[in-house]
Amino acid sequence: MPRAIWSGAISFGLVSIPVKLYSAVSRKSVRFNQLDGRTHARIKQKRVSALDGEEVPYDEIVKGYEVMKDQYVVLTEEDFASLSPKTSRMIDITDFVDQGDIDPVFYESAYFLVPDELAAKSYALLAEAMAESGKVAIATFVMRTKQHLAAIRPIEGKLVLSTMIYHDEILDARDIPDFEQLEKVEVTEAERSMANQLIESLVTEFEPSRYEDTYRLEILDLIERKSAGELTAVATSAAAEDPGVVDLLAALEASVSAAKKARTRHPSAKEAPVVDENEAENNLAAVTDIADKKSA
């Protein structure tokens, strides 16, 4: 059963709505322990001094910021306490903006905002008004001694809070190497038209349940089979075959053709198309191959 990780109130203008914060995400990553390969005993990590290799008691460990090699400024708990944001139980809404104005790169972690029983009507009113206006609330709040920037969005009558990355934490694409090669790329009108047709042929509604972490599922299946004694070794998969050199326009045309065939084969042809996975993979590999060769 999920548990609230924070409680407080949404505040905007003179309105205050008591809420609790629940995580909206439950990560499904597979976790492993480090073992001694000889005995399979757990590996324990120790904190040791780089000066003499001796283990350092936890209560003797302090935090330091390296200003130059091997030179540190040490900050104490009192230093951090003096700089901690003022403790507050308020999610202060400062602005309402269009959702389309927020690049998804700014979103970080998602949480459900759940209203106090006595604040249900005010909460529902806010969620409904935001949904009708198409606006997203921008707010700040303090959680675990850290001040967060957040966006609050209405989803099916509920409010979801997403913590956000600050603007100076987003890397500028101009600082990423190798993007300059795109300036030399020339795309023909025929290629552009065919690419647009391919995109249109694959347009459908987003259904999250259609997508799975197949690698995680394969890992869990492998663990289960090894635990049952079915496997003594892990077989390595064969290397993917080289699709060879193909014409970009031809690959796009083949992709569009495959998508159209898949759509006609589907029982409900007017609904979202179902593309043959082998055909799609082969075409994608071909397009990727020619694109790589052009940039080489």
In the prediction, which pLDDT does 293 show? 47
d(CA 132, CA 268) in angstroms, rounded, equals 33
Which part of the chain is CATH 2.40.290.10? 6-27+84-169
Distance of CA 150 to the CA centre of its chain: 16
- With CA atoms as reference, report the closest residue to 119 among 24, 21, 15, 23: 15
In the prediction, which pLDDT does 137 show? 95
Question: What is the dotted CATH code of the domain comprising 6-27+84-169?
Answer: 2.40.290.10
- With CA atoms as reference, report the closest residue to 159 among 290, 22, 291: 22
Taking a C-beta distance cutoff of 8 angstroms, is the pair 246, 290 a contact? yes
- With CA atoms as reference, report the closest residue to 282 among 260, 254, 248: 254
In the prediction, which pLDDT does 265 show? 62
Phi, psi for 166 (deg, rounded to 5): -70, 150
Give, for all 296 residues of the chain, the pLDDT tens digit. Answer: 789 999 999 998 888 999 999 999 998 889 999 999 999 999 999 999 999 999 999 999 999 999 999 899 999 988 887 876 666 789 999 999 998 999 999 999 999 999 998 899 999 999 999 999 999 999 999 988 788 999 999 999 999 999 999 999 999 998 888 888 888 889 889 989 989 988 988 888 888 888 888 889 998 998 888 888 876 544 444 444 454 445 777 777 777 787 777 766 655 444 444 444 454 445 544 444 544 544 44
Residue 62's CB is within 10 A of a number of other CB atoms, namely 10
Taking a C-beta distance cutoff of 8 angstroms, is the pair 85, 145 a contact? yes
In the prediction, which pLDDT does 232 show? 53
With 0-12 / 13-18 / 19 or more C-beta atoms within 10 angstroms meaning exposed / middle / buried, residue 152 is buried
Taking a C-beta distance cutoff of 8 angstroms, is the pair 93, 12 a contact? yes
Helices and strands: H and E segment counts in the chain: 6, 9
